[in-house]
Structure 1
Amino acid sequence: MAEFTVSLSYEKAGAPWGDNARLSFTETGAVIHLADESPNERAISQAARKLDGLNLAGVTLTGEWQKEQQWAFALSFTRARNPASIEWADNSDKATLAQEYAALLFTRQLVNDTPEDLSPETLAQRAANWLQELGADKVTYSMTVGEALNDAGWVGIYNVGRGSERPPVMLELDFNPTGDSEAPVDAVLVGKGITFDSGGYSIKSSEGMLDMKCDMGGAATVTGALGLAITQGIQKRIKLILCCAENLISGHAYKLGDVLTYKNGVTVEVVNTDAEGRLVLADGLMAATETGAPLIIDAATLTGAAMVALGSDYHGVFSMDDNARAQMLEAAQQENERFWPLPLEPFHAERCPSAFADTANSRPMKGGGGGGASNAAGFLSRFVNPDGKGWVHLDLAAAYHGSPTPEMPVGATAKGIRAIARMLHNFK
C-alpha cells in the first residue's frame, strides 16, 4: 500500500478547496495550510483530527516540520482505538520524537484500557514490567497487596480498596542507575491509581461514572514520565510509588463517618467516599517523604474543581515551595505543555474541619465547596514535610477527554509526561 504523506505549506489552498481551507489533498496525501510561519500548532491539531477521521493505517510526515509541530500532530492524530502509525519527518528530531511517542502510547493505552482489564494489581504490574524493560537491572520493585497494606499501616489505600474483590496495591519501584544501594534518592514520583471510581457510598451518577476508568491517570502519567526520562538517559536515582485501588460498594467497603488513623498520627474523618484520591495519595506521600528525596511530585486526576478552574486544557500546579513551583512551570513551558499555578497556603490544610478527627477528607457539600482543588492540596500537605519544601502536587485536569474536541481525540491525552521528565532532569 502506498504511503499517505502529510506536508506543511505556508501558501493558501487552491480555490476548489474553499476560502481559508486548512487542508487540501494531493494524489499521495494531504497538505496542511498554515496562515504564517509561526508554529500554528492549533491549526495542525485541527487538521490532524480531520485526517484521523479518514481511518488511515498510517501517515508519513514529509518536508519541513518543526519538532513541536510534529508533536502537535501526533497528540491529535493518535486515536484511542487502533491508532495509525506515524513516520516522522526526516530531520534531527526523529529519535527524540520516537522516545516521547513511545511513552505517550504506553500512557494513553494504560488509561484507555477497560476497568475490567486493569485491576489494581494489573496496573502496578504493567507499570513495573514496562519500566524494567526500559531500565533492565537498574529497576527493582516490590508490591504490598490487600491485607498486607493494613498490616503495614497504609490505611488510605487499604480502606479505599477494601470494598472490591480485587485487592488494593502499593507499588514501590526504584530506578537506581548508580549501582549503589546506599545512594541518595534524587526524586520520588507518586501517582493516584484508582482503576475505577464508583464514588463508593457517595455514589456517582451513571454519566459521572462512565469515564472513571481514567481515575488512574496520575499513576499512568508519572509512570510514562519516568519511562521517558529513562530512555533519555537520566542518571539520577528516582523512586515511583503508585497507590492503586478500585473504589467500589460492598459489605466490606469503607463508609461515611469512618475515621482513619494514618502512620504519621493524623486522623481523618471520611465525609465523602468519592474524595478517595487524596486518601490513597496520603500514604504515597508519606512513603515518599521517608526517602528524604529533595523532590516529590504527585500527580492525580483529583478534583472536579480543578477542571472548573482550568477546563481540560491545563494541569493545575500546587506547591508551598516557590522554587519547586517555578521549576515545574518552567519545565512545562520548555516542553510546550500547559500547566498553571493554583493557590496553596498553610491555611488550606484547615479547610476541611471535623469534630471527630484532625481533619475531614473533604467538606460535606457538592464538589467539596469553593476552592475544592486547593483544599484537597491542603489535605495532602499534612503528609509531607511541614513546610512543603520540594513537593509539587499536580491536579491533572487535562489528562482525559470524555468526548472528542476539534483538537483532541476522545480518551487519554498523556499531557504532562514530557514536563515531568524534564523536571526530573533539571531540578536543583
Structure 2
Amino acid sequence: MSDLSKLIQPDKGQPARTIHLVDAKGYEDWVKAQPPRHRAAIEAQRLKPTGFASAILPGDKPEDWSVVGIVANVAALSPWCLARLAETLPEGNYRLADGEPGPAMLGWLTGQYRFDRYRKDEKNTGPRVLLTGDVARIAETVRIAAATALVRDLVNTAAADLGPAELQHATEGVAKAHGATITVVKGHDLESGYPMVHAVGKAADKTHAPRLIELEWGNPAHPRVAIVGKGVCFDSGGLDIKPSAGMRLMKKDMGGAAHALALAQLVMEQRLPVRLHLLIPAVENAISGNAFRPGDVLRSRKGLSVEIANTDAEGRLILGDALARASEQSPALIVDFATLTGAARVALGPDLPALFANDDTLADALLSAGMAEDDPLWRLPLWPGYADMLKSDIADLNNAPDGGFAGSVTAAMFLERFVPKETPWAHFDTFAWRPATKPGRPKGGDALGLRAAWAMLKARYA
C-alpha cells in the first residue's frame, strides 16, 4: 500500500478539484439550483440520490471539472461517505466545497487500499489526495488506516507465505519500530509451559513449528494491558478434517493475531500510558502421525485438563494457554481477538463481531465505542446455565460440547475459565473477512472490532 500520510494533506490553498456533497433528501432542490450545463451532465450520467453515487460536473474549461457525491447526511459524515470517490476518481488533489471531511478521511484512505503481493494492480491509477484544514485529525486517521491495512495484509497473505515464523517476523518488525522487547518460546520448548499450544501445533512441518510470541512495551509503573490474538496460520481441522469448502479460507484463521498486533501498534504509536503485553500463540493445525487426537486429554498452562472432543476446536486451546500466561502478570485489562467460531457468523453475519465480557462497564464502553466509530459489536452472554456443556467425564473441561447449541457462547465460556474473575476481560469473536466489497472495505481480510477496541483503550487510559 502507498504511503498513507501522502493521501491526506493540510490544505494550504494548493490547486485541487472540488467535491460537492449533497444530502440524498435535499438532492432534488440542489439539482434545481444548478446551472443548465450541470443539470445536463447530471442527467447524462443518470445520477440518482442513492448512497455513494457521484457524477462529474463540467467547468468553464474542459480541465475545470468538479465532482458531486451523494451522502446520507452532510452534517454528520460517516467514515465511508468519501470512500467510493477515493476508489474511482482520477489521481490528483481534491477538497470539499464546504466544511471538512472529518471521519470521512478514514474511508478516503482505506478506499485506496490494494493487496498486490501476488499480481499487478491494474486499477491503481495513482494517489488521490484529500486536502483538509482539520490538520489535527490527520495523524490519528493515518494510524488507524495503517493498522487496518496491517490486518488486511496479514489476513490476505497465503498460508504458504505466512506461517508461525512469518507471523513472528511481522511482530518483530512492529516491536523494532517502537522499541518493544520480544520473547519467543517455540517447538518442543512449549511442552512444559504451553502444552496446549504445543499439542495443536506439533503436527506441522518444522518450518511451521508452533510458538508463543510475547511483546512487552511501556513503563512498568503504568497499568498493564494484555492483548491476546489467535494465530492459527492455517487450520486443516486436524484429524477432524474440514471439508474443502470449510478449509478454503483458513489462511484467515490468524485474523485474531492480526487484530491484536494492529491494536498493539496503535497503542505504541500513540504512546498510550500503559504497560503493554501482547501475546500471540502461533500454530498451524496440521495432520500427521503425531497430531493430537479426539479423545486425548491435554494439560494446560493453568493446570486444567481438557478432553479433546474435536480437533477443529483448536483456537480455544491455544488461547487458553496464552490467557493463562497473560493473567499471571496481574493485568488491569485483558482483550483477546479470535476467528473462533462459525456459530458467531451464523448468529450475527460477517460484519458484526460477537463481544463477550465478564465486566459490564467494559462491555458498555466497547459497545458505545463501536457505535461512535461505525465499527459495531454485538454482546452475547457468558451464560452460566450452559456451564454443564463444558463438562467432561474424564477431565476438567471438554473443548467442544456435543449438540452444536450456543457454539460461540460455550467457546467464550471455555476461555473464561483461563481468566481470573476479578480481571476485566473482553473477547472478540470476529470474522476478519469481508465476503463482498463495500466502499472503503474491499472483499478479503479486514479489521472488524479493531477501531472499537482502540477507542475504548484511548478513553480508558489516555
TM-score norm. by structure 2 comes to: 0.81
1:233 CA drift (Å): 2.6
Whether the 8 Å CA contact 2:233–2:253 is kept in 1: the answer is yes
Conserved in 2, the CA contact under 8 Å of 1:185 and 1:291? no
Residue 242 of structure 1 is matched in structure 2 by 280
Alignment length (residue pairs)? 409
The alignment partner of 2:183 has SS state of strand
Give the 3 Å change call, closer, same or farther, for CA 346–32 of structure 1 in structure 2.
same
Checking the alignment, whether the CA contact within 8 Å between 1:211 and 1:402 is kept in structure 2 is no
Q: Which moved more, 1:58-67 or 1:88-97?
A: 58-67
The answer as to 2:342 corresponding to 1:309 is: no
In structure 2, the CA distance between the partners of 1:345 and 1:254, relative to structure 1 (3 Å rule), is same
Q: Distance in 1 between matches of 2:412 and 2:113?
A: 32
Q: Decide which structure has the larger Cα Rg and report it.
A: 2
1:45–1:77: 8 Å Cα contact kept in structure 2?
A: no
| 1:396-411 mapped onto 2 (5 Å cutoff) | 396-397=430-431, 399-405=432-438, 408-411=441-444
1:89, distance to aligned residue in structure 2 (A): 3.0
In the alignment, the residues of structure 2 paired with residue 31 and residue 155 of structure 1 have an alpha-carbon distance, to the nearest angstrom, of: 59
Residue in 1 that maps onto 2:74: 37
- Inter-partner Cα distance in structure 1 for 2:82 and 2:284: 34
Q: Deviations over 1:62-103 (max 9, x none)?
A: 214432222234444424335764534323222222222222
- SS at 1:142's partner residue? strand
Amino acid at match of 2:55: S
2:458 maps to a residue whose letter is H
Residues 220 and 418 from structure 1, CA distance in 2 versus in 1: closer, same or farther, beyond 3 angstroms? Answer: same
For 1:323, which of 356, 361, 367 is the aligned residue?
A: 361
Residue 143 in structure 1 maps to residue 198 in structure 2: no
What do residues 196-220 of structure 1 show as CA deviations (whole Å, max 9, x unaligned)?
1111112112121111111111111
1:14-69 deviation digits (Å, cap 9, x = unpaired): 11121515111355675422254244648737735xx63x5x78564421443222
The equivalent of 2:212 in structure 1 is 170
SS at structure 1 position matched to 2:230: strand
Residues 147-175 of structure 1, C-alpha deviation per residue, up to 9 Å, x if partnerless?
Answer: 011132x1121111111011011011101
Deviations 1:394-415 (A, max 9, x none): 1113x21244357731111123
**1:18 and 2:26 matched:** no
Runs (4+) of structure 1 moved beyond 6 Å?
Answer: none
Q: Kindly tell me: are residues 317 and 85 of structure 1, through their superposed partners in 2, closer, same or farther at Cα, counting changes over 3 Å?
A: farther
Contact between 2:313 and 2:400, CA under 8 Å: does it hold in 1?
Answer: yes
Distance of aligned partners of 1:7 and 1:208 in 2 relative to their CA distance in 1, 3 Å threshold: farther
The CA distance in 2 between the partners of 1:296 and 1:59, in whole Å, is 44
Conserved 8 A contact 1:159-1:253:
yes
What is residue 372 of structure 2 aligned with on the other side? 334
Distance 1:427 1:401 in 2: 29
Question: Which of 239-248 and 418-427 deviates more?
Answer: 418-427
Which range moved further: 123-132 or 22-31? 22-31
Counterpart pick for 1:132 among 154, 161, 176: 176
Q: Which segment is superposed worse, 109-118 or 225-234?
A: 225-234
Q: Give the SS at the match of 2:280.
A: strand
2:195 matched residue in structure 1? 155
- Give the Cα–Cα distance (whole angstroms) in 2 for the partners of residues 150 and 158 of structure 1: 6
* RMSD over aligned Cα atoms: 2.6
Matched residue, 2:267: 229
Structure 1 CA distance, aligned partners of 2:275 and 2:286?
35
How far apart, in 2, do the equivalents of 1:290 and 1:61 lie? 52
- Alpha-carbon distance in structure 1 between the residues aligned to 2:438 and 2:237: 27
Q: Which residue of 2 is the match for residue 116 of structure 1?
A: 160
User: Aligned equivalents of 1:187 and 1:246: distance in 2?
Assistant: 27
Shift of 1:184: 5.5
Alpha carbons of structure 1 residues 381 and 90: separation in structure 2 relative to 1, 3 Å: same
- Deviation string, structure 1 residues 245-279 (Cα, Å, up to 9, x no partner): 01111112111111111122211111111111101
Distance 1:220 1:214 in 2: 9
Q: 1:207 to 1:46 in 2, by over 3 A?
A: farther
Consecutive unaligned residues of structure 2, counting only runs of 5 or more, are 1-14, 23-29, 32-38, 58-62
What corresponds to 2:106 in structure 1?
A: 71
Classify the secondary structure of the residue corresponding to 1:351. Answer: helix
CA 1:332–1:372: 2 relative to 1, 3 Å: same
Q: What is the aligned-residue identity percentage?
A: 32
1:393 to 427, 441, 446: 427
